[in-house]
Structure 1
Amino acid sequence: MGLLTFGLNVTLDGCYDHREGIADDELHDYFTQLMDAAGAMLWGRVTYELMESAWPAVARDENAPRAMREWARKLEAKPKYVVSASRRDFPWNNTFRLEGDLREAVTQLKEKTPQGVLVGSPTLAAALERLGLIDEYRLVVHPVFAGHGPTLFQGLEPSRRLELVSTHRLKSGQVAMHYRRTL
């Protein structure tokens, strides 16, 4: 069974607004490597629509920065699963709707994806964390105080303890942290 890994950018004050981070080539390369290691992506509808509105065009843009274009092209080819109660049609290449009970559907996805699944939706990740389904966390902390939300895992109870696997400092001051769920 593959691992379910939650990967996301976050500011020092916990904000996950994608406009607050430092999106340079090294960051895109980092997330491209994470995606390459995974067998599939998993998103909620809101994150899917955000990604769908931006990345297919970047994949076809000959003038896009190298790291962004590489991410976009690999994302095009990667299987993408979406959890949505309201949307059924997902025209972006290699996109599938995850149906049924969330715990059961994600467990089945993990079972059929031995390389693992990378989830990048904060709201979906909170639901998956409540179900105890997330195995690892790959958070990139940016040296920014956003001063606003939304923030990660708001209202999650009880508290969780994680084991630090590794850290990696990026040139722009971000710190990529790899944590694993403790038993």
Structure 2
Amino acid sequence: MTPDPSNRSNGRPPTLREIADQAGVHISTASRVLRQPEPADGWSDSALRVRQVAEELGYQPNLWAASLRTRKTTTIGVVMPRLTDVVVATMFQGIEEAATAAGYSVLLSSPPDDLEAQRKAVEFLVSRQVDGLMLSSIHLPGTDFVDSLPLRSLPILLLNRHIDSATSSVNRSLPFVSGDDRLGGYLAGSIYWTAAIAISE
């Protein structure tokens, strides 16, 4: 199906209803197709028509209007200092890939290793109405930093940091992802001693 540009006023961006009409689907179907990532089993024929019409007419969804309607921005805020570090950069790449697969965008702030700069970075992301935060910071274990921010109703995931309810006035443990340094040390030691014994023999 070839989209008919004459159905629109000159210079006016296409609407979702126009996309649906020209693709021959209900407006709710067009909306769902254009806001969700591609399913694991691929797009259906009707979904492909919707996306083709949208692309050929130059349709761009109004993300601001959608966020007002759903009260979600489908955006995750990430505070990650030292992004030039290869480990940190690899971690962020994984975050972005997973977020994209789930239909989310990532808003990144990479402030210097400075408490006030990191505080402002978090405040900025909160002001952008992100749906959740991932925080990786050398200053994060200081609970005053977290407790002083308006984060009580916002989902937070700590990266390589841990704050529990016993040391934080937020009265809840914050979920975290961290490497097991103790296990890493044990494995490294085991490998070292195994190699040392083999050499001595």
User: Of Structure 1 and Structure 2, which has the larger fraction of its residues in helix?
Assistant: 2
Greater C-alpha Rg? 2
- Identify which of structures 1 and 2 has the higher relative contact order when contacts are C-alpha pairs closer than 8 Å and 6+ apart: 1
User: Of Structure 1 and Structure 2, which has the larger fraction of its residues in strand?
Assistant: 1
| Same fold, judged at TM 0.5 (above) | no
Give the structure-2-normalised TM-score.
0.31
Give the structure-1-normalised TM-score.
0.33
